[in-house]
Amino acid sequence: MEKKNINLGIFGFGCVGQGLYEVLNRTKGINARIKKICIKDPSKPRPIDMSYFTTDPNDILNDPTIDVVVELINETDAAFNIVSTALKNGKAVVSASKRMIAENLPALYQLQVENKVPFLYEASSCASIPIIRNLEEYYDNDLLNAVEGICNGSTNFILTKIFEENLSFETALQQAQDLGFAETDPTLDIEGYDPKFKIVILLLHAFGTFVKPENVYNFGISHLNDFDIQFARQRNCTIKLIGTCRRQNGHVNAYVLPHLIREHNLLYDVYNEYNGILLESAFTDKQFFVGKGAGGTATGSAVLSDISALLYNYRYEYKKIKQSNQPTFTNDLQLQVYVRYSRPDQVDLTEFYNISEKYESPTYRYVVGTINLDKLKDAAWLKNKEVNLLVLEH
């Protein structure tokens, strides 16, 4: 993009949209101005002048003076339609919609190639942590072995409140909602879908592998109870919801599961709405990124960073796609897990390779053993709210 000044057309003015407006007004180094904001409900009170707003998408998409379309809405199909139309119209696009991007990555990649326009989405993965830019630039030729970590600020906030302040799950969730970290319907966060979408995106930039979200197994924290928390504390552990993608023997696996984390692990001290990402590579061993993973200004700052990058003609090059060693995706992986349940008929123990520990009481039972990720992905018994799963560290 040759222009020194750019005009923005924004779709959505919720938490992230308002966060972007705030950081854009506070920074002095970027010559970008908001020309128009498209919203769905014109009757809703807004904190800025109503002259900014429209309800017609074409006021942005067909305006030749708007250089960059910023997509910040929650509706997946509508978001894809906005982004694809803008790219076809030759406009650069910045987005924070992790679900829309994860579900449409091959099509979005193709649209960028065909229309020769950039599409940036740093804010979709870990809010304030510049993980995509680092995978694209710093690790473009490094032999990455793994990308894993806490990439959902809402669940990390809830787990922090449970372990550090002894709050109940329900109270911690309510606090997360009150602070704007969790949605009114928190399903995508607490069931692990949100971090799964992020892992799908990171898989592409880390390894060059396209994977459909439905092929990546996610299990969240909604089944967690006091017995599990006590189990973790007795082993001097905390519980974190971890998203992982790891290369092994020409394949790559990925999943989102709650883990028991010991103090030596760098993720142990990632608290509240913060995210933490660990990279493992052949040349640099382990490197660790930490930053705010939820909140309007944290995500807005990542959106603003992408807008700034466009001023310097930046675009993703997807170098890993062009390399010849992309690993194929698999769920054939053995995991050591803790499974808690109430009655013997609730869990099929024959699906375990081995069981190293077993406990029974009138109220609860648990086993510690090894099971294949493929088996977990298809296990009907994990849908039972009285059954919980935690992955043990290697």
Predicted pLDDT of residue 297 = 81
User: 223 Cβ partners below 8 Å, 6+ apart?
Assistant: 385, 386, 387, 388, 389
Return the pLDDT at 392: 96
What pLDDT shows up at residue 126?
A: 87
Confidence (pLDDT) at 2: 52
Q: Is the pLDDT of residue 161 over 70?
A: yes
**pLDDT > 90: percent of the chain:** 76
pLDDT of residue 141: 66
- The pairs formed by 340-344 with CB atoms below 8 angstroms and a separation of 24 or more are 340/225, 340/227, 340/228, 340/231, 340/364, 340/365, 340/366, 340/387, 340/388, 341/365, 341/366, 341/381, 341/384, 341/386, 341/387, 341/388, 342/386, 343/386
pLDDT tens track for 33-91: 899 999 998 888 888 888 899 999 999 999 999 999 999 998 999 999 999 999 999 99
With b for 16 or more beta-carbon neighbours within 10 A and e for fewer, the 324-343 pattern comes to eebbebbbebebbbbbbbbe
Among 35, 36, 198, 240, the active-site one is 198
Is 198 annotated in the active site? yes
Q: For residue 249, name the pLDDT band (cuts at 50, 70, 90).
A: confident
Closest CA to 132 of 114, 113, 151, 116: 151
* Lowest-confidence region among 106-110, 193-197, 290-294, 310-314: 290-294
Average pLDDT over residues 7-27: 90
With 0-12 / 13-18 / 19 or more C-beta atoms within 10 angstroms meaning exposed / middle / buried, residue 58 is exposed
Q: Is 384 a residue whose pLDDT tops 90?
A: yes
Answer yes or no: is pLDDT of 1 > 60.
no
Task: Note the pLDDT of residue 3.
Answer: 53
pLDDT reported for residue 142: 64
What per-residue confidence (pLDDT) applies to 104? 98
Q: What domains can be seen in the chain, in order of their start residue?
A: 6-135+296-319 (3.40.50.720), 140-292+327-391 (3.30.360.10)
pLDDT at res. 51: 87
Q: What mean pLDDT value characterizes the chain?
A: 93
Q: Quick one: average pLDDT of 261-288?
A: 92
* Average confidence (pLDDT) over 120-142: 88
Cα–Cα distance for residue pair 210/16, rounded to 1 Å: 27
Q: Taking a C-beta distance cutoff of 8 angstroms, is the pair 110, 121 a contact?
A: no
Q: How confident is the model at residue 264 (pLDDT cuts 50, 70, 90)?
A: very high
